[in-house]
């Protein structure tokens, strides 16, 4: 399972990269705005900086919503760095754009996916990644993990190459459950990744080992 971090915060990306387990980064316009990155030039420079910090795919989202706008923007983004994945919304023109990028060998991430039907279309269009938003589904009393399960079944039935990127991961158990189901990738906050480290018995055990070592080597 690949681990992506879902942030535009360079310090957090570096921290995850230094842990040695990071496979990529996802961003979106809200995450860029949260870091105060505004204006086309700053946004472009920020994507370049992220690519320098991380080894792996970096999703950069288009703002346009027509086919022509998405193609134009996506080509600029893809030319920035070979790690860039063009993130395209799940709308009719988005599907057309994903097909165009796929035919040109440009990697894509189909974002804002909330149903199996949408995921099926994204795979048919040749998306590199499909991003079902599990946390946002949970927020409205729908079962986000079940969506991952259903997409896994459909993609396996037809051997689609599109990777399931479980997005809108909110906590550590989401990561574990997605791994059980067989999501190819998860993207979440650093806190959810670091939650995997924690167990009180580890802390108690280490404290005891160190105390016993000190007694024997006083």
| Residues labelled catalytic | 87
With 0-12 CB in 10 A as exposed, 13-18 as middle and 19+ as buried, what is 192?
Answer: buried
Q: What kind and span of H or E run contains 125?
A: helix 116-125
- The CA radius of gyration of the chain, in Å to the nearest whole number, is 19
- CA 83, CA 60: separation in Å to the nearest integer? 10
Q: Which of 71, 106, 130, 167 binds ligand E4P (CB under 6 A)?
A: 167
Rounded to whole angstroms, the Cα distance separating 56 from 85 reads 10
**Is residue 175 close enough to count as binding ligand E4P by CB under 6 A?**
no
Interacting residue with ligand E4P among 29, 135, 182, 195 (CB under 6 A): 135
Where does this chain touch ligand E4P (CB under 6 A) — which range of 71-79, 94-102, 115-123, 129-137? 129-137
For residues 24 and 126, which CB has a smaller minimum distance to ligand E4P in the complex?
24
Size of the site for ligand E4P (CB under 6 A): 11
CB under 6 A: which stretch of 75-83, 100-108, 130-138, 141-149 binds ligand E4P?
130-138
User: Should residue 133 be labelled a site residue for ligand E4P when binding is judged by CB under 6 A?
Assistant: yes
Q: Is 28 in the site for ligand E4P (CB under 6 A)?
A: yes
Q: Which of 12, 83, 108, 111 binds ligand E4P (CB under 6 A)?
A: 111
Of residues 83, 84, 89, the one with CA closest to residue 67: 89
108 contacts ligand E4P (rule: CB under 6 A): no
CA distances to 88, 90, 93, 149 from 188, in Å: 19, 20, 27, 18
CB atoms under 10 Å from CB of 180, counted, come to: 11
Task: Closer to ligand E4P by CB, 1 or 204: give it.
Answer: 1
Summarize as ranges the residues that interact with ligand E4P (CB under 6 A).
6, 26, 28, 111, 131, 133, 135-136, 167-168, 187
């Amino acid at each position: 399972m690949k681990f992506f971090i879902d942030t535009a915060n360079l310090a957090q990306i570096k921290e995850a990269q230094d842990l040695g387990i990071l496979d990529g980064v996802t961003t979106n316009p809200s995450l860029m705005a949260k870091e105060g990155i505004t204006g086309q030039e700053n946004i472009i420079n920020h994507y370049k900086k992220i690519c320098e910090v991380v080894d792996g795919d970096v999703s950069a989202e288009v703002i346009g919503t027509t086919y022509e706008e998405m193609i134009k923007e996506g080509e600029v983004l893809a030319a920035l760095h070979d790690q860039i994945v063009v993130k395209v919304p799940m709308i009719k023109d988005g599907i057309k754009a994903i097909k165009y990028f796929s035919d040109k060998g440009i990697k894509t991430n189909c974002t804002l996916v909330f149903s199996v039907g949408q995921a099926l279309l994204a795979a048919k269009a040749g998306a590199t990644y499909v991003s079902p938003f599990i946390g946002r589904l949970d927020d409205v009393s729908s079962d986000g993990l079940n969506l991952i399960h259903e997409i896994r079944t459909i993609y396996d039935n037809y051997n689609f190459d599109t990777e399931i990127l479980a997005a809108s991961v909110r906590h550590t158990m989401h990561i574990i459950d997605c791994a059980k189901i067989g999501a190819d990738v998860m993207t979440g906050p650093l806190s959810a990744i670091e939650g995997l480290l924690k167990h009180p018995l580890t802390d108690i055990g280490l404290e005891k080992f160190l105390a016993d070592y000190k007694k024997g080597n006083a």
